[in-house]
Amino acid sequence: MSRSWRYLLVDVDGTLLDSQGRISARNRAALARAVEAGLTLVLATGRTYPSLMRSAGDLALPFHLIANGGAVGLTPGLASAPYVNPLPRALWPEVVEALEREGLSVVVFSHRHPEPPQLHVSRFQGDPHFEAYLGRNALLARAAPDLAAAEIPDVLEVAALGRGERFDAASARVMERFGGRTRHHAMVLFIRAAYGRITEFFHPDTSKWRAFQALFPQAAAHPEQVIAVGDEANDMEMIRAAGLGIAMGNATDELKAVADWVSADHDQDGLALAVERALAL
């Protein structure tokens, strides 16, 4: 390995996982090879950490975890959460109210480590994509009819789930309203072989890259030591900032435009191909 890589920062859905939510044998082997070569593996996901562990808990490699789109950073084995960046208490109810006025199905995520995070909703019925998500996370969900007035500590994010043109237009109006007051984006959300959309609102300083820098302060001064691989809007900052930013073949056009490379897609071992090529530099 001629380049002095020290970190491998990997998105999960659409990158580590294929379209069926699985980790291929070649992706496993490539990550193992990177760890054997001395790289620190960091999985960075928009998921909560229990959701990530359902899909990657059998990876059989040590990895740090960035969850909730960069709002939480955890050490290997979820032993501790040294980084948490919640939304301000005065702000998140405004986001909830704005989304609900648009008729959208809203989820509020709260942090409780070492216990699993909780999902708070005003009701369990709503958009079919929202209901499918709650069904997958039923043990973590709690109902509060007046969600914006609920006493919920350590709110990590507020999200709306749905699909279709009406959902996209309503989401865009709310994102425009909050401008620089929140960090927000809209992206694809894969649930049980079906695709919908999620619009997420975070503390304005939240990103996977900022959580990574908080976990590894030395990396802030040496981004050239970092390989980052991703596919979606919430990967943009880490792909731009890393010494080597790689977009998956299934990545958004916007992400591909800022990446150093574009690999194959997630059903063609694009992550493994990217890691193998990087380690050969």
The domain covering 7-84+206-279 belongs, at the CATH homologous superfamily level, to HAD superfamily/HAD-like (3.40.50.1000)
Q: What is the token pair recorded at 11?
A: 């998105």
Domain ranges of the chain: 7-84+206-279, 92-202
User: Strands, E, within 14-71: which ranges?
Assistant: 40-44, 64-67
How high is the mean pLDDT of the chain?
A: 95
Residues in the chain: 281
pLDDT in tens, 14-51: 999 999 889 999 999 999 999 999 999 999 999 999 99
| 3 state DSSP class of 113 | coil
The predicted pLDDT at position 220 comes to 87
Do the Cβ atoms of 271 and 248 come closer than 8 Å?
Answer: yes
How many angstroms from the chain centroid is the CA of residue 179? Answer: 21
pLDDT in tens, 215-237: 999 998 999 999 999 999 999 99
pLDDT in tens, 57-69: 899 999 999 999 9
Q: How far is CA 103 from CA 143, 162, 196, 238, in A?
A: 17, 11, 17, 33
Going by their DSSP bridges, the two strands 194-202 and 72-74 should be labelled as: unpaired
Residue 252: DSSP 8-state: -
Secondary structure element (H or E) that encloses residue 257, with its range:
helix 253-258
| CA nearest to 230, candidates 34, 22, 42 | 42
Q: Write b or e for each residue in 266-279: b if 16 or more Cβ atoms lie within 10 A of its Cβ, otherwise e.
A: bebbbbbbbbbebb
Topology of domain 92-202 in CATH is: 3.30.1240
Query: Token pair 């975070």 is at which residue?
Result: 202
Region 249-260: mean pLDDT is: 98
